[in-house]
């Protein structure tokens, strides 16, 4: 972003990468695929780079409102400093926090999740799913991230991107507004689960497996981690892939 | 004349007792902190019409929704009959609304069919609860009293409807026999099935008719006074509770304005925070007065159906957390504080708190904040908000978060990420 400003340019959109997208090796691949899609369709985007900081989501869900608001206000200062109007996020948690919780602290932006952006690009005819891997007829089941689906009512955008690939979309028993959490939300990602008889991600993977998928599609880097752990726990890594909607889109468009 | 007097006394006593208990409930709800839910009235009315009157969220599970609809419709509509019973009781008249003529016949026929619906619905509910072994009707918090409460409600409704139908059947038979007091009025499509079972002697018929009439009205008034002690209170509170629903996206958590002022002052020394009068005594919630009146109203509205718990990922996988228990604990503690105030004139410290005495740390930290419980609740209760407030207290007042959560907070503070990575490495992904 700083480089763009130095050159006197303004981006069409700011890509909010998020902590997972920045540091988690698996999520970094999703980050790069989102960038490839943005370049492919010719959207001029910027990132904050080292000026980006945690949105404060896990702090807020963990009950630390002080830390959340410190993070939020610092981020708002940076975003407003660059006069950012529109933001795309790779993570439903960043999406929810910036979109819903920053306005009360003075940060007003148009925020969309990357699955919504991809769906818009498909609708506009800018992404045609040509020149890459074919997903036609392949069994894909989509896992609703809580903070995208139930939290913000985004159920259709990710599904429409999969349908546009002629994939065979199979739904889990608990889907859409009834979707089962992967187990990572509410700061659970950063702690061991309480005592119980099962891990939540295992429960979810068993449900996903019941649809006999080739691919489990995700839209959240934390879900990605949990779902992959579940697949590993069931020793199904050879048969089932866990892929983000952005990765599937990039592959279908031959963006390597 | 004597019976009119007795009736008036019973009616006055029942209404008096009920208003007394309602005042206590309102007082208890007002123990909570202020929260403004007066915005967007049109949307709120719509929400109430859809969720409370229309039972929209019940229909996520069609079979119990259908049975519940039968009971609900019956209950609401048959209560029109109460108007007639009260007038007859006070003035010694009989079937005073018969002046409505043909419409009265229609009305009574509808009541009878609805009464049958309520009977069938309650019977199936009883079977589901006690023989069907549905998982959501058990659980740690479903101790003796909550289970008994549910059965008492169902049995009472069955008895009331049975009395109503027996009353109609005997009345009908007396009408046919030409008793002068029993004017020919009404239409009895369901209760006429009972006629062959009734005795022929008009004296005995009258005795049965009067007994059923008294049983019905006294039963209804008793039931009314049972509501404040029961989960059945939802039949009243569902309306305000859905009207005051949270209208913002489920993912959006409340902003703590008291914290905003402090953070602003930290970031900008020239910022003068508004006077401290508005500051709450505590950050987050440790006990009932730290929650909002809406949280407390929700605790009274909860009907312990367990839909929240049955979809909770933590509960499903065997953790201690149960959203239903959060609501039941909140109500129990609130009523305990209410009794304390009744006895002492004001609240006297009893050494107990909602957090720890009722809800354990293990429960609040097992929540994934996924909002499944909020989505599942047919009366728009938000257990997640209470869990969050308890976490806020544990973290901001006591610094008592699980160690790994504290480590995550530390990382965000120091490196702007929940993990131990340097902020300067944030864009390294570009290079690999």
The domains located in chain A, with CATH, are: 2-118 (3.40.50.1860), 130-252 (3.40.50)
Helix (H, G, I), strand (E, B) or coil at A8: coil
Residue of B nearest to A178 (CA): B372
Span B302-349, pLDDT tens digits? 999 999 999 999 999 999 999 999 999 999 999 999 999 999 999 999
B14 and B163 assigned to the same domain: yes
Is the distance from CB of A222 to CB of A185 less than 8 angstroms?
yes
What pLDDT shows up at residue B186?
Answer: 86
What pLDDT shows up at residue B279?
Answer: 55
- What does DSSP assign to residue B354? I
B411 lies in a domain? no
Segment A99-119 mean pLDDT:
98
Contact B426 A17 (CB under 8 A): yes
Residue of A nearest to B393 (CA): A63
B86 and B187 assigned to the same domain: yes
B340 lies in a domain? yes
Provide the shortest C-alpha distance from residue B370 to chain A (in Å).
5
Residue of B nearest to A188 (CA): B368
Q: Name residues 88-107 of chain B within 8 A of A (Cβ).
A: none
**Residue B149 token pair:** 């409460």
B268 and B175 assigned to the same domain: no
B234 and B277 assigned to the same domain: no
Pairing of strands A13-16, A86-89: parallel
B335 and B363 assigned to the same domain: yes
Torsion angle in degrees (nearest 10) through CA of B198, B203, B204, B208: 90
Segment A43-61 mean pLDDT:
97
**Residue A233 token pair:** 């726990």
Contacts of A21 in chain B (CB under 8 A): 429
B374 and B320 assigned to the same domain: yes
Element (H, E) at A94: helix A92-96
Segment A98-102 mean pLDDT:
98
B267/A contact by beta carbon, under 8 A: yes
Q: Name residues 275-304 of chain B within 8 A of A (Cβ).
A: 283-284
Residue of B nearest to A154 (CA): B249
Low-confidence residues of chain B: pLDDT under 50: none
B316 lies in a domain? yes
B421 lies in a domain? no
Of A28, A63, A66, the CB nearest to B432: A28
Q: Please spell the DSSP secondary structure of B275-327, one letter per residue.
A: PGGGS-SSSS-SSGGGSBHHHHHHHHH-----HHHHH-HHHHTT-S--HHHHH
B238 and B270 assigned to the same domain: no
B391 lies in a domain? yes
- What gap in Å lies between CA A30 and CA B424, rounded to an integer? 20
B196 lies in a domain? yes
B116 and B198 assigned to the same domain: yes
The percent of residues above 90 in pLDDT, for chain B, comes to: 87
Is the distance from CB of B233 to CB of B225 less than 8 angstroms?
no
Contacts of A187 in chain B (CB under 8 A): 369, 405, 408
In order of A23, A240, B7, B224, the CA distances from B229 in angstroms are 54, 53, 24, 10
Q: Is the pLDDT of residue A221 over 80?
A: yes
Helix (H, G, I), strand (E, B) or coil at A112: strand
B291 and B364 assigned to the same domain: yes
If one compares A44 and A3, the residue with the highest pLDDT of the two is A44
Please give the residue range of the domain that contains residue B292: 263-401
- Asked which of B243, B273, B297 is the last residue of a domain, the reply is B243
What pLDDT shows up at residue B275?
Answer: 63
What pLDDT shows up at residue B182?
Answer: 87
Span A123-175, pLDDT tens digits? 999 998 888 999 999 999 999 999 999 999 999 999 999 999 999 999 999 99
Question: Which site among B263, B283, B307, B377 would you substitute to test the A interface, given the most A Cβ atoms closer than 10 Å to its Cβ?
Answer: B263
Pairing of strands A86-89, A45-46: unpaired
The CATH number of residue B351's host domain is: 1.10.1060
- What gap in Å lies between CA A183 and CA A222, rounded to an integer? 9
If one compares B279 and A5, the residue with the highest pLDDT of the two is A5
Contact A203 B320 (CB under 8 A): no
State the complex-level ipTM: 0.97
B220 lies in a domain? yes
Is the distance from CB of B384 to CB of B369 less than 8 angstroms?
yes
What pLDDT shows up at residue B276?
Answer: 58
B105 and B222 assigned to the same domain: yes
Sort B39 into a burial class: Cβ within 10 Å, 0-12 / 13-18 / 19+: exposed
Is the distance from CB of A229 to CB of A192 less than 8 angstroms?
no
Is the distance from CB of B217 to CB of B198 less than 8 angstroms?
no
Query: ∠B352-B358-B360 over CA atoms, to 5°?
Result: 115
What pLDDT shows up at residue A17?
Answer: 98
B419 lies in a domain? no
Local confidence band at A46 (pLDDT 50, 70, 90 cut-offs): very high
B343/A contact by beta carbon, under 8 A: no
B99 and B202 assigned to the same domain: yes
B115 and B183 assigned to the same domain: yes
What pLDDT shows up at residue A130?
Answer: 86
- What does DSSP assign to residue A218? E
Residue carrying the six token digits 């909550």: B146
Q: What is the mean pLDDT of chain A?
A: 96
Number of domains in chain B: 2
């Amino acid at each position: 972003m700083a480089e763009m400003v130095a050159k006197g340019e303004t981006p069409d959109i700011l890509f909010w990468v998020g902590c997972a997208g920045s540091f988690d090796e698996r999520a970094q691949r999703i980050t790069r695929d989102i960038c490839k899609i943005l370049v492919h369709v010719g959207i001029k985007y910027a990132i904050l780079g080292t000026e980006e900081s945690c949105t404060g989501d896990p702090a807020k869900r963990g009950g630390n409102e002080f830390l959340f608001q410190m993070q939020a206000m610092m981020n708002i200062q940076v975003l407003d400093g660059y006069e950012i109007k529109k933001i795309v996020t790779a993570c439903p948690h960043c999406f929810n926090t910036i979109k819903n919780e920053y306005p009360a602290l003075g940060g007003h932006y148009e925020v969309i999740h990357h699955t919504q952006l991809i769906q818009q690009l498909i609708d506009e005819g800018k992404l045609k799913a040509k020149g890459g891997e074919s997903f036609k007829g392949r069994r894909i089941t989509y896992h609703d991230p809580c903070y995208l689906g139930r939290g913000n009512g985004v159920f259709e955008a990710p599904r429409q991107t999969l349908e546009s690939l002629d994939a065979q979309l199979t739904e889990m028993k608990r889907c859409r507004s009834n979707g089962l959490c992967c187990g990572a939300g509410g700061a659970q990602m950063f702690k061991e689960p309480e005592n119980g008889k099962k891990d939540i991600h295992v429960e979810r993977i068993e449900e996903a497996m019941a649809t006999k998928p080739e691919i489990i599609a995700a839209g959240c880097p934390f879900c990605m981690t949990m779902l992959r752990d579940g697949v590993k726990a069931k020793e199904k890594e050879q048969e089932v892939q866990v892929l983000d909607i952005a990765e599937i889109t990039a592959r279908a468009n031959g963006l390597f | 004349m004597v019976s009119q007097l007795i009736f008036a006394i019973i009616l006055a006593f029942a209404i008096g007792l009920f208003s007394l208990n309602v005042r206590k409930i309102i007082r208890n709800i007002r123990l909570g902190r202020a929260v403004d839910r007066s915005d967007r009235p049109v949307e709120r009315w719509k929400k109430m019409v859809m969720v409370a009157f229309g039972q929209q969220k019940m229909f996520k599970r069609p079979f119990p929704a259908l049975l519940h609809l039968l009971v609900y419709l019956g209950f609401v509509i048959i209560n029109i009959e109460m108007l007639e019973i009260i007038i007859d009781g006070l003035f010694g008249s009989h079937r005073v609304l018969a002046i409505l003529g043909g419409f009265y016949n229609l009305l009574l026929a509808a009541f009878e069919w609805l009464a049958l619906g309520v009977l069938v619905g309650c019977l199936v509910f009883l079977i589901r609860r006690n023989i069907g072994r549905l998982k959501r009707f058990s659980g740690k918090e479903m101790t003796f009293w909550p289970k008994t409460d549910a059965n008492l409600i169902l049995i009472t409704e069955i008895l009331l409807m049975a009395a109503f139908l027996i009353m109609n059947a005997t009345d009908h038979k007396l009408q046919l026999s030409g008793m002068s007091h029993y004017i020919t009025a009404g239409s009895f499509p369901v209760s006429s099935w009972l006629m062959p079972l009734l005795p022929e002697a008009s004296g005995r018929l009258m005795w049965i008719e009067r007994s059923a009439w008294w049983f019905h009205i006294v039963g209804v008034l008793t039931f009314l006074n049972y509501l404040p002690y029961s989960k059945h209170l939802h039949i009243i509170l569902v309306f305000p509770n859905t009207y005051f629903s949270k209208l913002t996206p489920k993912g959006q958590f409340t902003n703590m304005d008291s914290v905003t002022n402090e953070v602003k002052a930290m970031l900008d020394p020239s910022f003068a925070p508004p006077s401290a009068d508005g500051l709450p005594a505590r950050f987050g919630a440790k006990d009932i007065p730290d929650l909002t009146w809406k949280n407390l109203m929700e605790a009274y509205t909860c009907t312990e159906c367990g839909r929240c718990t049955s979809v909770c990922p933590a509960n499903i996988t065997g953790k201690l957390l149960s959203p239903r228990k959060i609501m039941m604990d909140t109500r129990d503690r609130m009523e305990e504080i209410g009794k304390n105030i009744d006895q002492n004139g004001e609240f006297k410290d009893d050494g107990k708190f909602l957090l720890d005495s009722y809800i354990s740390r293990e429960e609040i930290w097992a929540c994934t904040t996924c909002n499944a419980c909020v989505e599942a609740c047919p009366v728009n209760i938000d257990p997640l908000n209470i869990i969050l407030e308890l976490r806020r207290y544990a973290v901001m007042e006591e610094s008592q978060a699980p160690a790994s959560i504290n480590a995550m907070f530390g990382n965000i503070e120091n490196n702007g990420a929940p993990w131990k990575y340097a902020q300067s490495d944030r864009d390294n992904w570009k290079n690999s």
